């Protein structure tokens, strides 16, 4: 199993930016959404809050995330989750040839075109990320 996003991307023959993390975000009690974030980027809380029109968002702990999705942290995906929560994908995926999203188990990814991901997940495509700061900062 890969020890880093860079190692995983190299093994899969894709750029790091094509690896998507599926992050579960809590809006309120029993109200969640999936945020799809490309490698090398992180979601920006102010952008996400502004888009959703809310001032409060949080990340559930690993136990809550598993109870909500049915997946362990690191294997979370909107596909096959216990409930069809809304999905927001970062706008930067639109320029990619392919994306890799978790397949529900660690080390399992599904490769597909960004447009197919959006169609299959019903994702809203929005600018909600910023570049990760360089390592060591």
pLDDT tens sequence across 54-90: 999 999 999 999 999 999 988 899 998 889 999 999 9
What is the mean predicted confidence (pLDDT) over 23-48? 95
Q: Could you give the percent of the chain with pLDDT greater than 70?
A: 96
Give the CA distances from residue 14 to residues 5, 11, 19, 79, 118, in Å, rounded to whole numbers and listed in that order: 11, 8, 8, 21, 19
Q: What is the per-residue pLDDT for 104? A: 86
Domain contains 113:
yes
**Which range among 30-44, 95-109, 114-128 shows the weakest confidence by mean pLDDT?**
95-109
Percent of the chain residues past pLDDT 90, beyond the cut = 72
- Enumerate residues 6+ apart whose C-beta is below 8 A from 34: 22, 23, 24, 25, 76, 78, 81, 85, 86, 87, 88, 121
Find the domain containing 33 and state its range: 5-129
Residue 136: predicted pLDDT: 62
SS3 of 134, please? coil
| 73, part of any domain | yes
91 closest CA partner among 54, 36, 49, 46: 36
Predicted local confidence at residue 16, as pLDDT: 92
> What contacts 124, CB < 8 A, 6 or more positions away?
86, 87, 88, 89
| pLDDT confidence tier of residue 117, bands split at 50, 70 and 90 | very high
Q: What is the CATH number of the domain that holds 22?
A: 3.90.960.10
Q: How many domains does the chain have?
A: 1
Confidence (pTM): 0.92
């Amino acid at each position: 199993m890969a020890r880093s996003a860079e190692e995983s991307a190299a093994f899969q023959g894709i750029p790091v930016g094509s690896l998507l993390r599926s992050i579960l975000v809590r809006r309120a009690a029993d109200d969640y959404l999936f945020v799809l974030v490309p490698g090398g980027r992180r979601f920006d809380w102010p952008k996400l809050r502004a888009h959703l029109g809310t001032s409060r968002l949080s990340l559930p702990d690993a136990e809550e995330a598993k109870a909500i999705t049915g997946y362990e942290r690191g294997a979370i995906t909107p596909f096959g989750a216990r409930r069809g929560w809304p999905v927001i994908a970062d706008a930067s995926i639109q320029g990619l040839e392919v994306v890799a999203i978790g397949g529900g188990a660690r080390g399992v990814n599904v490769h597909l075109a960004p447009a197919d991901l959006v169609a299959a997940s019903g994702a809203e495509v929005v600018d909600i990320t910023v570049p990760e700061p360089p390592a060591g900062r």
